[in-house]
Amino acid sequence: MKQVFVILSFFLLVSCQYKASKEKAMEYWNNNQFELALAEISNAIELYPDSSSFYAFRVAVYEVMSKYNEELKDLDKIIQLNQNEREVMVAYHQRSIVKSNLGLFKEALADIDYFISQQKASSTDLPTAYLNKASILYQLNDTVSAKAFYSMALSNATNDIKVSVYLGLSNLADNRHDALELLDKAMELDENNALVLANRATIYLEQGEIEKAISNFKKSFNLDPYNAPNNFNIGQIYAHYLNEPDSAMKYFERTIKLEPHSVQSASAYINLAIMENDNGDSKKACQYAEKAIELMPNNEEFQYNYAHILFDMGRNREAIDAISKAISFNPQEAEYYNMKGTILIEMLKFQDAISIFQRCIEIDPNFGGAYYNLGYIYEQQNNHELSINFYNKAVSLNFNLQSTLVNLALQEIKVNKVSDACSHLERAYKLGRTDVKPLIDKYCSDKTR
């Protein structure tokens, strides 16, 4: 389930000394003309590069525009200038959120810990800080500590924070029923919360209650159409449940436009990569996959899909590098070894491929594709007996049955096991491989129809 970050509002403190610049930038801000607001405040910063308040304003503009790398630099500058203690503390807190958006969770944790350490026990900022720390801990897979800090955030919390806490705890619930109960608590406090509705929809999807899922997703989207996760979720519905790929791609593209630099958009990039590759546009698919990996370089599934795209493009050496990374992140996933072995076959590195497929079988003795590929390799090496052995194993696992039966039969013919070959050809014919009829007529005359 998707994890939710709480964006801490920034204090837009601007010195009276620069009132004209402030008022012009604020005018653009209030009219949602963020590019113009950015240009105005950037011009002011060029004239007055030591005004932490101006950087604080620009941070807010960068935040709403999802320009996280630029926002991070301005937060660093506010801390470096150290002109206003309150601004500095807010900068530490906001920097933890920005680093989270960039996938820098350990660095984010250090910032939020420092912010918390500087607060008095009675500080009204602590519930929000605890909430954000819990979100970071969740991303670091420290679920025990995440639960603890979500619970701490409930103390003296506003209803808005309580809603976010229930959202966070729903992500950590032991089962879907408990998760829905927590989301119901959130709904009692805010029945029009887009994130609550989106999370409810996700659970309904997992339960196979598609109509409820679509209803909640649409309500969430109508409440917040400019929310990147909402657009992503609608894209998922169109892609995987309504079978409308064109609509799905539109919403994935909207997700990226809204949050181009956030790790939350990485899944939209990889989905677009897969869909473009299926459409035959490998070049565009590769660009999308590279962007996903740039945002989340340690994601094994992204590396796997990137390897697949590169393989389709004939860029085998790069594909080997990508799939090797996927294996390094998860050395127990048999499919990754099978993919690597397939690429090695294409590179005619048969001995290396044999070792990889054997490793695949060690992990999953019932992985039919590895047996099939070993059968193919030994076929290419004219080792017919070993080829027959592995094709037989693939047949016993019902892997790609029509093709495997035909390949097996052709090997059996080469070693004069005609009776076995005829049996397998007949079976393939009954399964729909009518193209083997000439072989049946040639080698199995007693079986000719």
Q: Give 128-146 pLDDT, tens digit per residue.
A: 999 999 999 999 999 999 9
Q: Inform me whether the pLDDT recorded for 339 exceeds 50.
A: yes
Q: Which CATH number fits domain 1-118: 3.40.50.20, 1.10.10.10, 2.40.160.20, 1.25.40.10?
A: 1.25.40.10
Query: Taking all residues of the chain, what is their mean pLDDT, rounded to a whole number?
Result: 90
Exposure string for 403-416, b = 16+ CB within 10 A, e = fewer: ebbbbbbbbbbeee
Closest by CA position to 74, among listed 86, 62, 85: 62
Look up residue 324 and give its DSSP letter.
H
C-alpha span between 344 and 329 (Å, rounded) = 20
Match 């070894």 to its residue by tokens. Answer: 337
Q: State in Å, rounded, how far the first CA of the chain is from the last one.
A: 57
Q: What pLDDT is attached to residue 346?
A: 96
* CA 31 vs CA 26, 34, 66, 252: distances in Å: 8, 8, 18, 27
Q: Inform me whether the pLDDT recorded for 4 exceeds 70.
A: no
Match 């590895």 to its residue by tokens. Answer: 370
pLDDT band with cut points at 50, 70 and 90 for residue 20:
low
Q: What is the mean pLDDT of residues 39-48?
A: 89
| pLDDT tens figures, 247-261 | 999 999 999 998 887
Q: Considering the chain, what percentage of its residues have pLDDT values greater than 90?
A: 69
pLDDT band with cut points at 50, 70 and 90 for residue 151:
very high
pLDDT band with cut points at 50, 70 and 90 for residue 390:
very high
Q: Inform me whether the pLDDT recorded for 12 exceeds 50.
A: no
pLDDT band with cut points at 50, 70 and 90 for residue 2:
very low
User: Which uninterrupted H or E stretch holds 185?
Assistant: helix 176-189
Look up residue 10 and give its DSSP letter.
P
C-alpha span between 261 and 338 (Å, rounded) = 33
Q: Inform me whether the pLDDT recorded for 325 exceeds 80.
A: yes
The residue among 85 and 270 whose pLDDT is bigger is 270
Q: Are 343 and 316 in contact (CB under 8 A)?
A: yes
Give pTM, 2 decimals.
0.68
What's the angle, vertex CA 394, arms to CA 393 and CA 399, rounded to 5? Answer: 155
The residue among 397 and 31 whose pLDDT is bigger is 397
Q: Which of 97-101, 116-120, 263-267, 301-305 is predicted most confidently?
A: 301-305
Q: Inform me whether the pLDDT recorded for 448 exceeds 50.
A: no
Q: Inform me whether the pLDDT recorded for 289 exceeds 90.
A: yes
Helix ranges, 207-329 (H)? 210-223, 228-240, 245-258, 266-278, 282-295, 300-312, 316-329
Q: Inform me whether the pLDDT recorded for 336 exceeds 60.
A: yes
Q: Inform me whether the pLDDT recorded for 70 exceeds 90.
A: yes
Classify residue 156 as left (phi > 0), alpha (psi -120 to 50) or beta: left
Q: What is the DSSP string of 372-438?
A: HHHHHHHHHTT-HHHHHHHHHHHHHTTTTHHHHHHHHHHHHHHTT-HHHHHHHHHHHHHTT-GGGHH
Q: What pLDDT is attached to residue 259?
A: 85
Q: What pLDDT is attached to residue 290?
A: 97
Q: Are 371 and 379 in contact (CB under 8 A)?
A: no
Q: What pLDDT is attached to residue 226?
A: 82
Q: What is the mean pLDDT of residues 338-366?
A: 97
What would you report as the CA-atom Rg of the chain, rounded to the nearest whole angstrom?
A: 29
Q: Are 71 and 98 in contact (CB under 8 A)?
A: yes
Q: What pLDDT is attached to residue 88?
A: 92
Q: What is the mean pLDDT of residues 182-194?
A: 93
C-alpha span between 408 and 412 (Å, rounded) = 6
Q: What pLDDT is attached to residue 237?
A: 85
Q: What pLDDT is attached to residue 446?
A: 60
Match 């994130």 to its residue by tokens. Answer: 195
| CB-neighbour burial class of residue 13 (10 A; exposed 0-12, middle 13-18, buried 19+) | middle
pLDDT band with cut points at 50, 70 and 90 for residue 315:
very high
User: Where exactly does CATH 1.25.40.10 map onto the chain?
Assistant: 1-118
Q: Inform me whether the pLDDT recorded for 410 exceeds 70.
A: yes
Q: Are 343 and 311 in contact (CB under 8 A)?
A: yes
C-alpha span between 247 and 128 (Å, rounded) = 37
Lowest mean pLDDT among 86-90, 322-326, 444-448: 444-448
pLDDT band with cut points at 50, 70 and 90 for residue 199:
confident
Closest by CA position to 378, among listed 366, 369, 390, 367: 390
C-alpha span between 4 and 72 (Å, rounded) = 20
Q: Inform me whether the pLDDT recorded for 402 exceeds 90.
A: yes
Q: What pLDDT is attached to residue 51?
A: 87
CB neighbour list of residue 18: distance below 8 Å, 6 or more residues apart:
44, 48, 51, 54
C-alpha span between 134 and 146 (Å, rounded) = 4
Q: Which of 41-55, 78-92, 204-218, 335-349 is predicted most confidently?
A: 335-349
